[in-house]
Amino acid sequence: METGTLVQAPPRPHGVLTWGAALCGFMSLLMIAYDLGPAAFALGMAIAVVPVPVYVVLALWLDRFEPEPARTLAQTFAWGATVAVFLSLLVNGLLQGLLDGAWGVEVGDVIGSVFTAPIVEELAKGFALLLLFSELRDEFDGVVDGVVYASMVGLGFAMIENVQYYGQAVAEGTESSVLTFVLRGLMAPFAHPLFTSMFGIGLGMVREGHHRARGWVAAALGLSLAMGLHALWNLSASFEGWFMVLYGLVMVPAFFGVLLVVGTSLRREGRIIREHLEHLVASGTLPAGELECLCRVRARLAASAGALRRGGLVRWQTRRELHRLASELAFHRWRTARGLSLGPEADAARESEYTARLVEVCRKLDL
HEC string for the chain = CCCCCCCCCCCCCCHHHHHHHHHHHHHHHHHHHHHHCHHHHHHHHHHHHCCHHHHHHHHHHCCCCCCCCHHHHHHHHHHHHCHHHHHHHHHHHHHHHHHHHHHCHHHHHHHHHHHHHHHHHHHHHHHHHHHHHHHCCCCCCCHHHHHHHHHHHHHHHHHHHHHHHHHHHHHHCHHHHHHHHHHHHHHCCCHHHHHHHHHHHHHHHHHHCCCHHHHHHHHHHHHHHHHHHHHHHHHHHHCCCCHHHHHHHHHHHHHHHHHHHHHHHHHHHHHHHHHHHHHHHHCCCCCHHHHHHHCCHHHHHHHHHHHHHHHHHHHHHHHHHHHHHHHHHHHHHHHHHCCCCCCHHHHHHHHHHHHHHHHHHHHHCCC
Give the model's pLDDT for residue 16.
67
Burial (CB count <10 Å: 0-12, 13-18, 19+), residue 158:
buried
| pTM of the shown model | 0.89
Q: C-alpha distances in angstroms, 138 versus 130, 161, 315?
A: 14, 32, 28
Write out the chain's pLDDT in tens, 367 residues: 444 444 444 445 456 677 787 888 888 889 999 888 888 899 889 888 988 999 999 999 998 898 899 999 999 999 999 999 999 999 999 999 999 999 998 899 999 999 999 999 999 999 999 999 998 887 898 999 999 999 999 999 999 998 988 888 877 776 655 666 666 666 677 899 999 999 999 999 999 887 778 889 999 999 999 999 999 999 987 777 788 888 899 999 999 999 999 999 999 999 999 999 999 999 988 888 899 999 999 999 999 999 999 989 999 999 999 999 999 999 999 999 988 877 888 899 999 999 999 999 999 998 7
Residue 191 CA, chain-centre distance (Å), reads: 13
CA end-to-end distance (rounded Å), the chain: 24
What is the C-alpha to C-alpha distance for residues 305 and 327, in angstroms, rounded to an integer?
A: 19
